[in-house]
Structure formats: structure tokens, C-alpha cells
Structure 1
């Protein structure tokens, strides 16, 4: 009589023969898994230019899958019914994928709409969800922006499609606005003439529509003015910077005061 076939593990129907066979399969399987992982890693590295993070993720996913298969084979060798385990794992994996792919599918659908409608395009300066930058790529899953400080931003397409998009590059011309305050005792008409002449003299400011100066607010201690000038879109940043810088000197020469913020404090004397 074969001792291995007749001797069983206490409180179970597993024979020692099955235990030995499962142990041998586990050792051999572990070696095979390590070889397969190494071969998969080398093949993937040679055959693609995937980023290191993506490569590491794929290798780990492949390794986990192989180890799960190995565990199921060992359990089946011991005589256990692994069908329920497989069904349970399938349900868990399906649930995880369902939740995990929900955002992926949303971003994919949004990417299709962004590509079709084109609210933004490569090379345009836009503001999306409060983030401003130049569009460097519009992918099927995400949009990539390069900010003015050379910061690289990746925005999911669902946010691009689901948020207001301010496109500062789409039109050929833009209106720039420079806000400035003057004192109440300054000559308002003189300030308007000086600001208008400053804008008209700038070589990048368009004559049609012509530049304008408007009173936007009567503040507590100053009159608020807005210098509005039209220019070609590529010149907008330079024009705004020049006007902001030069209006200070022009007002100073003309005797127009730019006041500092003031606060009147009244103290009631007590005896």
C-alpha cells in the first residue's frame, strides 16, 4: 500500500501525495514565473518606447497575474475547488475595472468631442479650469499645457470639456486694459487726454477700433480709469506691459497724481 496515497492531512481529504506534488509545482512554478517576468520585461523594453512608470506598471500587473495563476494551480493540485475562487476574483476585478475605467471612458469621450469641436488647439494660449498656459498637445485622454513659468500641466479632457475655456489666441486682435487711479483733485480731462495720447502713440496699438479711456469707478479716495487699446493678439502682452509702465511717467510729467490708498480715522476724545 502506498503510504502517500493513504496518509491524509488532519481535518481534510488532502493526501500527502497531493501536498508533495503541490510543493513541487509551487517551486517549479515560482521559477517559471520569475523567468517569464524577466523575459517580459526585456521584450517590452526593447519593443517599445514606453515611459519608465508605464513599463513598471505593466510588469507588476503581469507578475501579479502570473502569481495568481500559480496559486490557483497549486490549490487545484491539492484537490480544492477553485471555480468559486475564480468567480470571486472575476467579480472583484470587474468591479475594480468598472470604477477605474469610469473616468477613463469619460475622458475618452470628452477627448473625442474636444478633437471634433476644437475649442482649443496646439500652440494656443488658453485658460482651463483656472489654469493658464500654451497648449502643447491635445490627446484622447488629456490636454497638456505649458505655463509661462515653464511648468508642465496635464489636464483630463473631462475637465476641458466640462469647464469654461478662455482662448486668448483664437482671434486675430485683442483688447488690452490697464487700470489706473487718479486723485479727485487732479484734472480728469487732462488725465484722459494724456492716457489717450500715450496709447495712440504706441506703434502696436491699432487705430481702429481706436483707443479709449473710461471712468470705471468713483472710489473712496480716487477715480478709477481704464485704458483700453486694441492690438494684434501676439502683441497683447507687450502692449499691456508698455502702457502700464509708461502711464506712470506720463501722469507724473502732466501733474496728474496717482494717490496711495488712504483711510481716514476719526477719534472721539474722552475726558
Structure 2
């Protein structure tokens, strides 16, 4: 009866056994990956390294499952492995060196940790919160909830601006006052505004710099230090507070102006 279901020397039983091996192998691989991740999570390794190792381990297990499935189908796995090696070598010769480059870069990123999970970074002009580093690419989540994938070689090969690695950050707020305003009084109000904010640190002390004598205004920059987690709240509130303080105390924030002089011939 089994002879009727043979196709290229494969029987229904062979195919059924292969499906069982494939499904069971997939489930076992998922379980082993979870156990592996749980075990290394108990170590002092950073979460970024843990995620990287878990992904690498799961890929190895899935490759083993695929080879075991092929073996169940009476395929000689040895030649398959050799054939895959030859194909991979051929592909690498036609420009797939980037694959190994991305893999190597991912290992260096996970090991040296210029970025870590949940940190806000800028890489090659792209900003976002690090959600993970994979075998081939780094994953960022932009503030507007866009998911960004960057090849690891571009992460490792470009300057990385890490906005949240250190515990404190400096908040800068730019504001312009009119040339007729009292600049000393404007600076005094700005200093008081920063010092009165509960999340502004006293050390380093808040400061105000005159940054530019522009066409329509004297430009000042408020500089205050705060905890990194409070950065955006402090920037928003200081911007609003200095606007309200200048309005209430008569310091003019001018509109852009252009003086036009007409001469009669």
C-alpha cells in the first residue's frame, strides 16, 4: 500500500515523519531558546548582549532542525552542507561580504556596547530608541513610532550620539530680545527662571550666554543642567516660563524686522 504513495522514493510515512520532526524541532528550539535566554539573564550581562546571544542561538537551533528534517526525508545531509557551503562561498564572491561585515559589527556592538537597549541615540543622522541589536541589523524606534532597521556595519562604522548614556544633560533654550531691552535685566530674569525650576540642578549652576547680535534681536541662550530623564520636560517648561516672564516684566521678544530706506533722486 505504501508503494502507491511513493514519490521520488519518498513515502507518506517519510513525509509525515519529517513534518513531525520539523514541528517538534521548532517547538523544542523555541523552548531551548527561552531557557537559554532565562539562564543568561541571571548573569550580569547587559540586556543588549543577552538579546544578541539569544537570537544567534535560536538561528543555530533552526539550522539544526532543518538539517534533521532533511535527514528524515532520506537526504544525505553531508552533501547538502557541502553544497550550501559552496553556494555561500559563491555568493560571498559576488558581494555578500556585507553579510559577514554586519555579523562582525553586531558582535562588536554587543560586546563593547556603544549603545544599549532603551537608550536614545542618533546614528548616521537617524534618531530613535534602541529596541535591539540583531545578527545583521540594529533596530530603533523613532519618537513618532516608526520602526527603523540599520545594518550593523553602518552603526559600527559611523559616529554614534548617545543622548541618554550619562545621568545628566544640559538643556539649552534660545530666546531673542530687542535691542532696546535691558540686557542685564533680561539675563537676571532668565537666571531666576531657571533657578526656580525644581528639576534644574544647582551644580553646575544655570548660566545665560549672549550668542548672537542678529538682525532683529540680541540672542540669548539659557543653559541649565538636569537629570537625563527630565530633559524634555525641563526644555518645554523653561521655554514656556521664559516667554511668560519676559512678557510680564516688559522684556520685548521682537518679530523679525526689515528696515527699508528709499532715496529720492
> TM-score, normalising length from structure 1?
0.67
For 1:48, what is the secondary structure of its paired residue? helix
Shift of 1:142: 1.4
Distance 1:196 1:262 in 2: 27
SS in structure 1 at match of 2:258: coil
Distance, in Å, in 2 between the alignment partners of 1:240 and 1:39 is 63
CA-to-aligned-CA distance 1:228-267 (integer Å, 9 cap, x gap): 0001110111100100111111000110011111122334
Residue-by-residue CA offset, 1:78-97 (whole Å, 9 max, x unaligned)? xxxxxxxxxxxx99874434
> What value does the CA root-mean-square deviation take over the aligned residues?
3.4
Match of 2:100 among 93, 97, 105: 105
Q: Which runs of 5+ in 2 are unaligned?
A: 1-6, 31-58, 64-84
Q: Which of the numbers 133, 156, 165 marks the counterpart of 1:170?
A: 165
Q: 1:100 to 1:134 in 2, by over 3 A?
A: same
Q: Distance in 2 between matches of 1:195 and 1:43?
A: 71
Residue 257 of structure 1 is matched in structure 2 by 252
Equivalent residue, structure 2, for 1:183:
178
1:70 corresponding residue in structure 2: none
Distance 1:267 1:112 in 2: 68
SS of equivalent to 1:235: helix
Secondary structure (helix, strand or coil) at the match of 1:186 reads coil
2-side partners of 1:38 and 1:94: how far apart?
Answer: 33
| In structure 2, distance between residues paired with 1:94 and 1:163 | 28
- Residue deviations 1:13-32 (CA, integer Å, cap 9, x gap): xxxxxxxxxxxxxxx66x97
Partner of 1:18: none
The answer for the alignment partner of 1:121 in structure 2 is 116
Q: Does 1:137 align with 2:132?
A: yes
2:78 alignment partner in structure 1:
none
Say whether residues 1:48 and 2:26 are aligned partners.
yes
Structure 1 spans left out of the alignment, 5+ residues: 1-27, 59-89
TM-score of the superposition, structure 2-length normalised? 0.68
Aligned to 1:224: 219
- Structure 1 stretch 38-47 or stretch 194-203: which is displaced more? 38-47
Give the 3 Å change call, closer, same or farther, for CA 230–38 of structure 1 in structure 2: farther
* The one of 134, 148, 152 aligned to 1:157: 152
Structure number with greater CO (CA < 8 Å, separation at least 6) is 2
Say which one has the larger Rg.
1
Residue 150 of structure 1: CA displacement? Answer: 1.3
Q: 1:97 to 1:180 in 2, by over 3 A?
A: same
Deviations 1:13-57 (A, max 9, x none): xxxxxxxxxxxxxxx66x97xxx999978965664389xxx9xxx
1:109 Cα shift?
A: 1.2
Q: Which residue of 2 aligns with 1:76?
A: none
When residues 37 and 249 of structure 1 are mapped into structure 2, their CA distance, relative to the original with a 3 A threshold, is farther
Q: Matched residue pairs, number?
A: 210
